[in-house]
Amino acid sequence: MKRTLLSVGVAVALGTPLSALAQAKPEVLVKQRQAAMTLQGKYFGPLAGMAQGKVPYNADVVKRNAGYLNALDKMPWDGFSPETKGEKSAALPAVWNEPDKFKQAADRLNSEVSKLVEVSQSGDEASVKAQIGAVGKSCGGCHETFREKR
């Protein structure tokens, strides 16, 4: 009975047969990695605005968003698997031609966001803003090399 209810819940929840989940299709991988980028934009945008003085500084929002980003910044990378090379996206061939450099860029983001999580606990506004800048540079540094200009 439990299993039946679960099946129904899951089928409704995901709108897709479970069998399709074992091996995500290339277009699904692209959609998922783009979703992670979209949400990183959602939660980083206001922080960038605060660091630039365009949005009022709010330490609680920084803490919350830093926590979200600390999860989101782990999510895009498995979506850049080789079978997605042919899919329409802004990813440049460098993603697959320079995997070590791409991994370094991802690691840098992860590291800068981890630091932001730490710094955001202290409540020192200047340090927090400086660290938001460091996160922004790690986003930009990666996009510069690995994403099509738009």
The residues that touch its own copies, with contacts defined as CB under 8 A, are 2-3, 5-16, 18-19, 21-22, 24, 31-32, 34-36, 38-39, 41-42, 44-46, 48-49, 51-52, 54-55, 67-68, 71-72, 74-75, 130, 132-133, 136-141, 143-144, 150
Q: Residue 134 Cβ, how far from its own copies at the closest point, in Å?
A: 9
Residue 147: beta bridge partners? 91
Quick one: 12 or 100, whose CB is closer to its own copies? 12
Q: How many Å from the N-terminal Cα to the C-terminal Cα in the chain?
A: 52
Quick one: 116 or 139, whose CB is closer to its own copies? 139
The structure tokens listed for 138 are 């790690």
Burial (CB count <10 Å: 0-12, 13-18, 19+), residue 3: exposed
Quick one: 31 or 101, whose CB is closer to its own copies? 31
The secondary element (H helix, E strand) that includes residue 136 is helix 125-146
Quick one: 42 or 103, whose CB is closer to its own copies? 42
Q: Residue 109 Cβ, how far from its own copies at the closest point, in Å?
A: 10
